[in-house]
Amino acid sequence: MKKYCKNCDTYNNKNSTKCYICGKELDDNSITTSNVKEKIKKIFTGKNLAITILSFILFCALISQPNTKGYQNTINDLNTKVSKYETTINSQKEQLTKLNTIDNDYQKLKNDYNKVKEENTNLTSRVQTLENENKELSTSITSLRSENEQLNNTIATTAATPTSAVVQTPSQNTAVPQQDNTSQTVWIGKTGTKYHRQTCATLKGKGQAITLQQALSQGRQACKVCKP
């Protein structure tokens, strides 16, 4: 057996305390190459070899044995997380359903509002038309009252005149031949079924000129205010 110097890779006598090459001290724990080989032979021969193989198999079995308890805990944790996620998803689905219901109700209210708004616009336009017609009727009533007052004054004046003062002239009994006046120009308004003179107060200067024949063909009648 020899002592091995690791410093200079040299073998020395087993009784040497220093390396004869580099001078480094050698202790008793230094193992020679031949000693290592002998120990390896003892380990891998006979009974020791069987013990070594069994130890190796046992070690491999221990390493390969699964930790079922740890895996089960991991699986339980994952199932808990999945359950929580499913609960959260269901809650979000319910909220989404409520939001969709609210959105549908909003759209319905919006459509109802638009309908009411449109009806209000139509009613406003109708009220404006009725107000204009009312103004025209008020003007016509005023004109009729004025005409009625003039007729009453004429009747009163005629009643106060003596009968002897009335002189009948031949022209009063003379028949005047009627003229064809269907080509006469008359005026009609935007509303109503009458035809008028251009200066009629009920037209307010907004009439449309047509012939008398056209007015009669439309079924219109003469205005009692202006008497065209």
Distances (CA, A) of 144 to 100, 147, 201, 223, 226: 65, 5, 11, 11, 10
pLDDT tens per residue, range 80-120: 988 888 899 999 999 999 999 999 999 999 999 999 999 99
Contact call for residues 140 and 225 (beta carbons, < 8 A): yes
To the nearest whole percent, how much of the chain has pLDDT over 90? 19
State the pLDDT at residue 169: 45
Highest mean pLDDT among 39-43, 135-139, 173-177, 180-184: 135-139
Nearest partner of 65 among 73, 57, 77, 75, judged by Cα: 57
Cα→Cα distances 121→84, 135, 179, Å? 55, 21, 50
Q: Mean pLDDT of all residues in the chain?
A: 78
pLDDT digits (tens, 9 = 90+) for 180-203: 566 788 989 888 888 888 888 888
Which amino acid appears at position 36 of this protein? V
- Please give the single-letter amino acid code of residue 34: S
Q: Which of the residue ranges 64-68, 79-83, 141-145 would you say has the lowest mean pLDDT?
A: 64-68
Token pair of 33, please?
A: 């190459």
DSSP track, 72-116: HHHHHHHHHHHHHHHHHHHHHHHHHHHHHHHHHHHHHHHHHHHHH
Output 165 or 58, whichever has higher pLDDT. Answer: 58
Q: Parse the chain into domains and list their residue ranges.
A: 2-64, 75-156, 186-228
State the sign of the Cα–Cα–Cα–Cα dihedral 102, 104, 109, 113: positive
Q: Give the C-alpha distances (Å, rounded to integers) separating 90 from 27, 77, 82, 87.
A: 77, 20, 12, 5
